[in-house]
Amino acid sequence: MPVIKSAKKKLRADKKREKNNNKWRDLLKKVLKTARKTHTRENISKATKIIDKLAKKNLIHKNKAARLKSGLSKFIKGAAKPTAKPAKSKGKSKAK
């Protein structure tokens, strides 16, 4: 444990900062999980906002932020395409 008064103060500040940073990291994990599970534009944009905020605060590296956002953008592209193709008939048409 620190003995000097300023070191004690720094320890208190560090604990408070660590608690706040962990809260943001947990939020990031939660938001990424929901965005990857359900590919809605709302979930992906929310995750992107959180990623940008954490990169700005230097809680995650800017390249990691870019990598995460790139992965999420693939879900947007996939969501734009129709997933189910219409069924094709194999036999001849019976309409006359």
Count other C-beta atoms under 10 Å from residue 47's C-beta.
24
Round to whole Å and give the CA distance between 15 and 60: 19
Task: Please report whether residue 35 resides in a domain.
Answer: no
Global pTM reads: 0.72
- The pLDDT tens digits for 3-54 are 999 999 999 999 999 999 999 999 999 999 999 999 899 999 999 999 999 9
Count other C-beta atoms under 10 Å from residue 7's C-beta.
10
Task: Please report whether residue 94 resides in a domain.
Answer: no
The three-state secondary structure class of 59 is coil
Burial of 50 (0-12, 13-18, 19+ CB in 10 A): buried
Count other C-beta atoms under 10 Å from residue 49's C-beta.
11
Task: Please report whether residue 25 resides in a domain.
Answer: no
Q: Which domain holds residue 67?
A: 42-81
Task: Please report whether residue 65 resides in a domain.
Answer: yes
Task: Please report whether residue 88 resides in a domain.
Answer: no
Q: How many domains does the chain have?
A: 1
Q: What is the pLDDT of residue 86?
A: 58
Task: Please report whether residue 33 resides in a domain.
Answer: no
